[in-house]
Amino acid sequence: MGAGIARLVLEKPGLELAGAYARRAERAGMDVGQAIGIAKDLGVAIEPDLTTAVKHTRPHIAIQATCSKLEDAWPEISIVLRHGVPIISIAEEMAYPACSSPAIAQEMHDLARTEGVAALGTGINPGFVLDLLVIAMTGVCARIDSITATRVNDLSPYGPSVLKAQGIGLGPQAFAAGVESGTVAGHFGFPQSIRMIGSALGLNIGRIEEERRPIVSKVHRETAFVSVAPGQVAGCAHTATAYDGDKPIITLVHPQQIRPELEGVETGDTIEISGMPSFRFEARPEIPGGRGTIAIAVNMIPRVLNAAPGLLTMADLPVPAAMMGDARQFLHARAEERHHG
Amino acid sequence: MGAGIARLVLEKPGLELAGAYARRAERAGMDVGQAIGIAKDLGVAIEPDLTTAVKHTRPHIAIQATCSKLEDAWPEISIVLRHGVPIISIAEEMAYPACSSPAIAQEMHDLARTEGVAALGTGINPGFVLDLLVIAMTGVCARIDSITATRVNDLSPYGPSVLKAQGIGLGPQAFAAGVESGTVAGHFGFPQSIRMIGSALGLNIGRIEEERRPIVSKVHRETAFVSVAPGQVAGCAHTATAYDGDKPIITLVHPQQIRPELEGVETGDTIEISGMPSFRFEARPEIPGGRGTIAIAVNMIPRVLNAAPGLLTMADLPVPAAMMGDARQFLHARAEERHHG
């Protein structure tokens, strides 16, 4: 993800890649061009110490693509903010940080305000398909009774770490044990998406129940990274249901598997609103995940630079938009002054 | 529309109907309850003079539902703003006012800033389906090559003035003459939607071409208000294309007709993005127009109260969201202070 974001930053007029930091020690000193797989050297070396990277390069904004969990993301975010640099993170738990830790979220908000900059979590999901887009669709409703949003995607292009987190290649019993022990995690981000929707709509969200079921393959399925025999697990059907009292009010469904087409499963995104009015919106196939996350992280740059200081969610900012032409045209006068004054 | 908005305001906890103004002299002094078709009197009389209405009721916000055109909307908006009252308008040309008159838009922006309040144009379309939703969808794109958005709807519930503006019931020659003279206007709002998208994405929009073709019925179609014989016009197929040089970059398609199902026409909203990535999003049937406009006008109340002063478009504000529970929970501290301090 980090490499894709860096490549897109390099392509966009008005943006410059000021510097780069990587967690992996073996990348220290490597030219960014080589690290992100483009032919030429960029004259920007990967810095293994984040404080040094921020101090030396003095970026106008940072994009974090190093991890999924808030506790893991926070030390890096805190260093960036303490140098007065706004930040966009694609860590899934950053989509709605108060969900994992109200204390860290409050500390982050206070620090960002003290430093006069904004911090935002984004991504395709959480951050867009199963939350921001759902919220936007409800904008034309006088009343919401319930919401169901479904994302059926194809994990075939993904590597071992993603496949393992979905339990792909396991037998059904090993899958159940993995769910129990936490090694089969399924999708990261349901509670974040639910809290973002709940907060934006003023819903009364009580308990959230999550379920991870194995997608047991009837056929042989194979990718470059895994081979699944009939009877083995080809993916994880992960759902989350949020209740208002005993009434299910938000249901998010996200089955992720390899080679869905081999059993006639059509991929896609569907948002169903039941209320006044009721309607259904769908994309067939689904909006691409990896490319979407890369794009939205970069597209949010001017929104975050223009924003009031503090910790923000996607629901606090103007809608994302593709950024065509020179990125600097999207900066408001105040943001320009801050960064060039 | 005004009656529907007033009814929804009355239903929402945390909102109060402070007063009402109507252009039609015959409504002066009538109780609002009677005017909007609810059984009981509300103890709020319709005021025929807008200045008096604003001065006497001192509302926290006004919603305008009196007209379509900017020149027509502006005198009322100016009275409201000059009393320090923020305003939401569903006048179609208010969706992107600089499109009809950069001078009025500038004057409105300056007045709103002087008074420290915000002004916003919204509605289902322009304001949502063919612009804001399109913009949001592009947020996951690294590059946009072209955009096509289509709204196929059903005008059967609408009355004589809407049907006349679409040329419904005319012969094809009378339709062509009506397009020529301007009495067959088709959809109001294409240039506004295109400019809103163009500005949000930084597209280079040159000329905009609009075409209004008759939907000549093959069958007999009838509603409570009009009867259309085979060979007569059942609707107006209105399209607008925006060019970057000679390249069509945004195409908006909005055929509006009565009884589309009689010729097997399926209604719906479709957004097709061609770029990196390309995808297609659709709703079948379309998001209801009248109810959607009423809801979004009311749902935007806290967004406008929280906003920085000035003339705003839907693309400048956080995404709309259905407003469930008490409306006051959506106000930021600054807005609450302004209105209750």
CB contact under 8 A, B143 and A322: yes
**CA–CA distance, A243 with B54 (Å, rounded to integer):** 42
pLDDT of residue B341: 40
**A window 137-196, beta carbon within 8 A of B:** 138-144
Decide: B338 and B306 in contact? Cβ < 8 Å.
no
Distance between A114 CA and the closest CA of chain B, angstroms = 18
10-residue mean pLDDT profile of chain A (341 residues): values are 95 96 91 90 94 96 96 98 98 97 98 98 97 98 98 93 95 98 96 97 97 98 96 98 97 97 97 96 92 97 96 97 95 68 40
**CA–CA distance, A317 with B318 (Å, rounded to integer):** 5
CB contact under 8 A, A202 and B329: yes
Q: Does B278 touch chain A (CB under 8 A)?
A: no
Q: Does B282 touch chain A (CB under 8 A)?
A: yes
**A window 199-238, beta carbon within 8 A of B:** 200-204
CB contact under 8 A, B299 and A139: yes
The CATH 3.40.50.720 portion of chain A extends over 2-123+291-340
Q: Does B339 touch chain A (CB under 8 A)?
A: no
Q: Cβ contacts of residue B142 below 8 Å, gap of 6+?
A: A8, A11, A291, A294, A295, A298, A322, B275, B276, B277
If phi > 0 it is left, if psi is from -120 to 50 it is alpha, else beta; for residue B256 that is beta
Greatest Cα pair distance, chain A, in angstroms, is 64
- Using an 8 Å CB-CB cutoff, list chain B residues near A315: 318-319, 321
Estimate to the nearest angstrom the gap between the alpha carbon of A250 and the chain centroid. 19
Distance between B120 CA and the closest CA of chain A, angstroms = 14
Instruction: Please list the residues that pair with B153 across neighbouring strands.
Output: B256
pLDDT of residue A338: 58
Instruction: Please list the residues that pair with B254 across neighbouring strands.
Output: B238
- Using an 8 Å CB-CB cutoff, list chain A residues near B293: 140
CB contact under 8 A, B298 and A202: no
- Measured over the CA atoms of residue B13, residue B19, residue B24 and residue B27, the dihedral's sign is positive
Of the candidates A201, A283, A291, the beta carbon closest to that of B322 is on A201
CATH of span A132-287: 3.30.360
Strands A233-244, A247-257: pairing kind: antiparallel
Q: Does B276 touch chain A (CB under 8 A)?
A: yes
C-beta atoms surrounding B246 within 10 Å: 7
Of the candidates B8, B124, B132, the beta carbon closest to that of A319 is on B132
Of the candidates B204, B282, B287, the beta carbon closest to that of A282 is on B282
Of the candidates A139, A322, A329, the beta carbon closest to that of B322 is on A139
Q: Does A280 touch chain B (CB under 8 A)?
A: yes
**CA–CA distance, B238 with B240 (Å, rounded to integer):** 7
pLDDT of residue A282: 96
Q: Give the fold, CATH level 3, of B2-123+291-340.
A: Rossmann fold (3.40.50)
Decide: A122 and A96 in contact? Cβ < 8 Å.
no
Of the candidates B300, B315, B325, the beta carbon closest to that of A202 is on B325
Q: Which is nearest to B256 in space by CA: B82, B130, B105, B79?
A: B130
How many interchain CB pairs under 8 A, A with B?
169
CB contact under 8 A, B283 and A283: no
pLDDT of residue A341: 40
Q: Does B324 touch chain A (CB under 8 A)?
A: yes
Of the candidates B277, B300, B319, the beta carbon closest to that of A315 is on B319
- Using an 8 Å CB-CB cutoff, list chain B residues near A284: 280
Using DSSP, state whether A327 is helix, strand or coil.
helix
Decide: B9 and B15 in contact? Cβ < 8 Å.
yes
CB contact under 8 A, A316 and B315: no
CB contact under 8 A, B142 and A8: yes
CB contact under 8 A, B142 and A325: no
- Measured over the CA atoms of residue B74, residue B123, residue B162 and residue B269, the dihedral's sign is positive
**CA–CA distance, A236 with A186 (Å, rounded to integer):** 6
**Which residues of chain B fall below pLDDT 70?**
334-341
The CATH 3.30.360 portion of chain A extends over 132-287
Strands B227-228, B233-244: pairing kind: unpaired
Closest chain B residue to the Cα of A316, Cα to Cα = B318
- Using an 8 Å CB-CB cutoff, list chain B residues near A202: 323-326, 329-330
CB contact under 8 A, B135 and A324: no
At CA B275, angle to CA B273 and CA B277, rounded to 5?
90
Q: Does A249 touch chain B (CB under 8 A)?
A: no
Closest chain A residue to the Cα of B125, Cα to Cα = A140
Closest chain B residue to the Cα of A320, Cα to Cα = B139
Distance between B31 CA and the closest CA of chain A, angstroms = 24
Phi, psi at B273, each rounded to 5°: -110, 125
Of the candidates A141, A284, A292, the beta carbon closest to that of B295 is on A141
Q: Cβ contacts of residue A238 below 8 Å, gap of 6+?
A: A186, A187, A190, A210, A211, A212, A213, A254, A255, A256
Could you read off the pLDDT of B15-44 as tens digits, one per residue?
999 999 999 988 899 999 999 988 889 999
